Amino acid sequence: MGILNVTPDSFSDGGRYLDPEAAIGHGLAMVADGAAVIDVGGESTRPGAAPVAEAEERRRVLPVIEALAPHVRVSIDTRHASVAEAAIGAGATLLNDVSATLHPVAAAHGVGWIAMHMRGEPPTMQDDPRYDDVVGEVRGYLLDRAEQARAAGVGEVWIDPGIGFGKTAVHNLALLRRLGELAAAGFPVLVGTSRKGFLGALTGGAPVDDRLEASLATAVVAAANGASMVRAHDVAHHVRAMRIVGEEVAA
Ligand code: HH2
């Protein structure tokens, strides 16, 4: 899943693809690099991000989705039902829902749905997040949401532990190491670690544009532990790494 943030303030690619032509060009480049899905977002959810008016979010994402949808599967990364509905009208067939509340929209329109776990809200979620058992709590929450969505008629339901969303580096690593416990529940698992802050912390302060090896290492751990898809900025590198995990390695 290639990341396409049509925003001025995303933590990694903010401002680079706010212009629709630049966004479409980058989306098509990620398709050429092997992306199976392009995840289009018009609101940053990085820690501390300011919310965006829904009309502005729609204005950012709709022309980009319309242009990409004939070429590749498009997901819409939003927390807002009105944006999700407009995006589906423009051609998106997967709803990437970091709020894990929009399954009725997916059910009504017959599209896939990704439930992501988040503790708190982006402005404050990284202020001292605590869990007794992070893997058990995230798993319980996601399975509850996923089963609700399935019962409501959503045919394609994904779960995502929400790396970095109200979690410390220790929480993120526990979720990656024990991802098999999520995957065993029977819903396909999506994981997004690409360039995230905990990778900087774990690599002695590497800046956001110097986290490729750390992103790949965590994507490989996720895939080896049962993830069916990883969400990434550097698509060509991740596609190659995923091919290695997918191959049986013979001595
Ligand atoms: N991470 C981000 C945004 N959306 N969706 C899912 N399902 N899983 C994730 O881990 C995830 C997500 C945050 O990263 P990014 O889009 O690169 O930055 P920003 O939120 O600043 O736009």
What's the rounded mean pLDDT across residues 24-35?
98
pLDDT of residue 248: 58
In this structure, is the dihedral angle defined by the CA atoms of residues 187, 193, 196 and 200, taken in order, positive or negative? Answer: positive
pTM (2 decimals)? 0.96
Of 102, 82, 196, nearest to 148 by C-alpha is 102
Torsion of CA 124, 130, 133, 136, to 10 degrees: -10
Q: The tokens of 245 are what?
A: 């995990």
Which atom of ligand 1 is least distant from the CA of 194? 17
* Nearest residue by C-alpha to atom 1 in ligand 1: 192
For 223-247, the pLDDT digits (tens) are 999 999 999 999 999 999 999 998 7
pLDDT at residue 148, as a whole number: 98
**DSSP 3-state of 95:** strand
Instruction: Please state the φ and ψ torsions of residue 77, each to the nearest 5 degrees.
Output: -95, 100
Active site residue 150: no
pLDDT tens digits for range 91-124? 999 999 999 999 999 999 999 999 999 998 888 8
251 CA → ligand 1 middle, Å: 37
Whether 167 is catalytic: no
Q: How much is the pLDDT for 150?
A: 98
